[in-house]
Structure 1
Amino acid sequence: MALDTPIFLRELVVSTAIFLFTYIVIRFINSKFTHRLPPGPRGWPILGALPLLGSMPHVSLAKMAKKYGPIIYLKVGTCGMVVASTPESAKAFLKTLDKNFSNRPPNAGATHLAYDSQDMVFAEYGPRWKLLRKLSNLHMLGGKALQEWADVRVSEVGHMLQDMYVLSKRNEPVVVSEMLTYAMANMIGQVILSRRIFATKNNELNEFKDMVVELMTSAGFFNIGDYIPSISWMDIQGIEGGMKRLHTKFDVLLTKMLEEHKASAYGRKGKPDFLDVVMANCDNSEGERLDTTNIKALLLNLFTAGTDTSSSIIEWALAEMLKNPSILKKTHEEMARVVPKNRRLLESDIPKLPYLQAICKETFRMHPSTPLNLPRVASEACEVNGYYIPKDTRLSVNIWAIGRDPQVWENPLEFNPDRFLTGKNAKIDPRGNDFELIPFGAGRRICAGTRMGIVLVEYILGTLVHSFDWKLPDNVRELNMDEAFGLALQKAVPLSAIVVPRLPPNSYVP
């Protein structure tokens, strides 16, 4: 049969038009999911950008942000990672898209240190995480709970001052990090277990401090096995082996704590501590139940983060004040107007000490305890500032870079507490709502200990400054301000200083 050419041509044109129209519509519909990725470095074969991060990833990523922009994308091994380095970009991820980035990616730290993510920090966002968070807030970290254990803070700070007073009479230097670890571990021990963990500063305390620092350091490493899972079994850097050995040490310590706590239950009748409350309320309405592993993992969170992050901020603040004696002098002058020299500083004095509070904020800005927020992961593909963010992309917010952004802060490398006393910065608060200053993160996965951290930093720093004059040892000509990268940003060289009492001797009695 002869082919009807006009009909054939018409059908061909119609079919072609339908095909083109369909193709264009599909391209248009999919266009919002096919936007280009954020800019970033090309990286190396297989390893991607891992070698570009160096030993100080927060610094390397800040330099990349200056070159590529506020949102950068890196291929790290087989994984994608997006980094936000400005207040606006951090807000886009941690507020606007908070729910999509509410989970943690799998990593060796969660597996080997945190009982396979059975803790509060690394737990999947869901009923168990909510139960852990609720119990922690109600009975230890929330405002009412903090008021209830205010006497514990006073007592343990008193023990620390007494030890420092003894050293001052011998003209021996105070190693600040050791003193703070001793005090904070005992504070947390009294709240959680109704007892001091370390009766004296001894080898057990030093080992505990070393364990905490090692945990924070190793958990902050960029472990190749996390980004190239197929070779994780090789443990090329030796990180996972170290984590396993460290976990065994912590597990022995935590198991001992639980056993001793159980054995002493009779003596606490009528006055339950945090662990009693947790064990009595380890169910929720959604059928979630905490087991012994969850409880040990939670204790690990509270003891390590509770002792390390706040102590590092206080140490950095004291170092900056020793480096800038005029700031220390101005702080003493403010305190002289508010706090009598015949007694120790009280927590109720702090609202009347705006310069002290400004010093704390300035330290949070320049020396955030977590320079890179704990990583999150995209549950679904999304779009940020016109850039396509694929599903399973890991998110890091460079808190350190935000605090040193010259577009946000005038003279950002200068330690200047006055910037928080007047103008727009006077209203900035570090609790996660002002993205110019988010030392504890923001959003639903903000650090659970934010409120406690601020209370401890302001009270302990204020007490140390009010109680003593501070100076460097005679053999120290220049203060080392180098950083040591980890989950918490430590001083590379621990601060050691000579203290001179400013109060009557009875002020240094617990």
Structure 2
Amino acid sequence: MENKTSICIEFLLLLATIIIVFFAKWLNHSKKRRKTTKPPLPPGPTGYPIIGCLPEMTKKKPTFRWIHKLMQEMDTEIACFRLGGTHVIPVTSPELSREFLKEHDLIFASRPHCMSARLTSCNYLSTVIGPIGDQWKKMRRILSSHALSSAMHTKLHDKRDKEADHLVRYVYTQLLSPQNNNKNGLVNLRVATQHYCGNVIRKMVFGKRFFGAGMEDGGPGLEEREHVDGLFTILTYLYGFAIADYVPCLEVFDFDGYRKILGDALDNVRKYQDREITNRVEMWRKGIKKTEDDILDVFINLKDSKHNPLLSVQEIRAQITEIMLAGVDNPSNAVEWAMAEMINQPHILNRACRELDSVVGRGKMVQESDLPNLNYVRACVKESFRLHPVAPFNVPHVSTEDAVVGGYFIPRGSHVLLSRPGLGRNPRVWENPLEYKPERHMVFESAQVELVDHDLRMLSFSTGRRGCPGVTLGSTMAVMLLARLLHGFDWMAPPGVRIDLVESEGVLLLAKPLVLHATPRLEPSVLLK
């Protein structure tokens, strides 16, 4: 009996030994395999334990210039910066960008949960900022099928047309009004372009140009200036590398002040918008309003399958803020830079004006129906998008699982940032990338220049699942804005002034607002129709 027990124990020990040896070998092999087969992270600074590169991020402002400078020094088109527990992956390669947003679009279709996005979107109720999920699908469907649909774009044509006319009258008034002490015909193009965009979006959303009375010369009043300034402040600080975006537990301390700045700007924007929304909801409830005239009316009247309101008031507020943010920056920045570049290269300005005279003539103002035929003007806008983007990065894409892109390991939860200047000024892709040359986009004279580059050699409007739903509206506003300015007026630098094409240090706007001398190019009867 003892023999049998001893043999049994020895057998079990032998079996256990064999299992342990095989397990150890398997574990060792698994470790080796992981070491040899798992790709590396993209190159980047080492950083500190736990906090990564947060100290450098807080010291080397603006952060986007530090990131681009370091990538140039490392001679890489993809990098990895660990900020707290987040891997931030900036990309300047069109090939890698296509791999992220096309081949692996589903993995990188979400957005980050962070302080600046949460505050701006009322806790992720809107479309562009919202992480992937049911709320995003709902809001995306509403935007695509209703607010920014082709039918709505056509329906709101007259409102955009009125604002294009108002822009021309406003510029013309600047040349004549003695109240402005403007006898030299000087026009601040930044004011004109930004507030044209603000006026268009307000008219399409709220059915009104101004929240207040406006100015006698047609310019923005205090309310509109505060509104637009607030929008641009939000755009600067949204995904602006706040400490709390990467270490949420530090939000309460607001070490860099970003939360307060963003909160104040949101208050300045929403105090005008929310009042309009509340009043309009009440008008529909009381039966005072009965026809849908603008985007706000559409939002209020959407119903679910049980005929209940599809959108809450809070969802409407969040989505309208996002529409406002998306509408004011890209067209105004592109046109201000385009005008500055064209003043310094008169042959480009003259060619654009000749095209306008040929396509439109001098007996009427440019209409939206003319825009498809203004190929060179379109190329001027596209070249401005390429060379002078309004933001350093696109809205971050978040990886929902581990992935391998371009031979590099991209961990789950990484923030992928496509660099707008990095793509548009990539010398491997663009010949003489720092030269403003609209002709580069006119491969075939008969082909219409599209402002979107689906090959991601530049980033004007994003693509893929998270592509911009307002491409048609944004393209129309940008081309119309430049066309109306060029067609209606002759422009030149003020006497003795040189237009310096220098970026602001903190953002990508011109360092100084563009102020030009203007004279009417068309007859007053045409300009003031």
Greater relative CO (CA pairs within 8 A, separation 6+): 1
Counting only pairs closer than 5 Å after superposition, residues 14-413 of structure 1 correspond to structure 2 as: 18-19=22-23, 22-23=26-27, 26-27=30-31, 30=34, 34-44=38-48, 47-50=51-54, 52=56, 54-66=60-72, 67-169=74-176, 170-198=183-211, 199-200=213-214, 201-262=220-281, 264-265=283-284, 268-283=289-304, 289-413=310-434
Task: Say which is worse superposed, 10-19 or 354-363, in terms of deviation.
Answer: 10-19
Structure 2 CA distance for partners of 1:150 and 1:390, relative to 1, 3 Å: same
Task: Say which is worse superposed, 264-273 or 409-418, in terms of deviation.
Answer: 264-273
Q: Within 2, Cα distance between the matches of 1:467 and 1:115?
A: 41
SS of residue paired to 2:490: strand
Q: Which residue of 1 aligns with 2:179?
A: none
Counting only pairs closer than 5 Å after superposition, residues 489-508 of structure 1 correspond to structure 2 as: 489-508=508-527
Q: CA RMSD, aligned part only?
A: 3.0
Contact 2:116 2:245 in 1 (8 A): no
Which amino acid in the other structure matches residue 113 of structure 1?
T
Structure 2 CA distance for partners of 1:506 and 1:410, relative to 1, 3 Å: same
Distance apart, 1:505 and its partner CA: 0.3
Unpaired segments ≥5 residues, structure 2 = 177-182, 215-219
TM value normalised by structure 2: 0.87
SS of residue paired to 2:382: helix
Task: Say which is worse superposed, 404-413 or 202-211, in terms of deviation.
Answer: 202-211
Which amino acid in the other structure matches residue 61 of structure 2?
S
| 1:414 is aligned to 2:420 | no
Structure 2 CA distance for partners of 1:269 and 1:434, relative to 1, 3 Å: same
Q: Deviations over 1:158-179 (max 9, x none)?
A: 1111111111234342122222
Contact 1:430 1:438 in 2 (8 A): no
Structure 2 CA distance for partners of 1:263 and 1:22, relative to 1, 3 Å: closer
Q: Which residue of 1 aligns with 2:497?
A: 476
Q: Within 2, Cα distance between the matches of 1:288 and 1:15?
A: 64
Distance apart, 1:427 and its partner CA: 8.2
Which amino acid in the other structure matches residue 235 of structure 2?
M
Distance apart, 1:185 and its partner CA: 2.4
SS of residue paired to 2:88: strand
Contact 2:164 2:480 in 1 (8 A): no
Task: Say which is worse superposed, 186-195 or 7-16, in terms of deviation.
Answer: 7-16
Distance apart, 1:457 and its partner CA: 0.6
Distance apart, 1:256 and its partner CA: 0.9
Q: Within 1, Cα distance between the matches of 2:279 and 2:16?
A: 85
Q: Deviations over 1:293-312 (max 9, x none)?
A: 11101111112221222211
Structure 2 CA distance for partners of 1:193 and 1:8, relative to 1, 3 Å: closer
Task: Say which is worse superposed, 471-480 or 376-385, in terms of deviation.
Answer: 471-480
Distance apart, 1:133 and its partner CA: 2.0
Distance apart, 1:454 and its partner CA: 0.8
Q: Deviations over 1:369-396 (max 9, x none)?
A: 2320111211111111222111111111
Distance apart, 1:490 and its partner CA: 2.5
Structure 2 CA distance for partners of 1:8 and 1:136, relative to 1, 3 Å: closer
Contact 2:126 2:318 in 1 (8 A): yes
Which amino acid in the other structure matches residue 371 of structure 2?
I
Q: Within 1, Cα distance between the matches of 2:449 and 2:191?
A: 31
Q: Deviations over 1:267-296 (max 9, x none)?
A: 6534442222212215379x9942111110
Contact 1:347 1:459 in 2 (8 A): yes
Contact 1:140 1:191 in 2 (8 A): no
Distance apart, 1:25 and its partner CA: 5.8
SS of residue paired to 2:80: strand
SS of residue paired to 1:233: coil
Distance apart, 1:24 and its partner CA: 6.0
Structure 2 CA distance for partners of 1:480 and 1:68, relative to 1, 3 Å: closer
SS of residue paired to 1:277: helix
SS of residue paired to 2:356: helix
Unpaired segments ≥5 residues, structure 1 = none
Distance apart, 1:9 and its partner CA: 13
Distance apart, 1:110 and its partner CA: 1.7
Contact 2:189 2:513 in 1 (8 A): yes
Identity level (%): 28
Q: Which residue of 1 aligns with 2:217?
A: none
TM value normalised by structure 1: 0.90
Distance apart, 1:218 and its partner CA: 1.9
Q: Within 1, Cα distance between the matches of 2:292 and 2:316?
A: 20
Task: Say which is worse superposed, 406-415 or 318-327, in terms of deviation.
Answer: 318-327
SS of residue paired to 2:107: helix
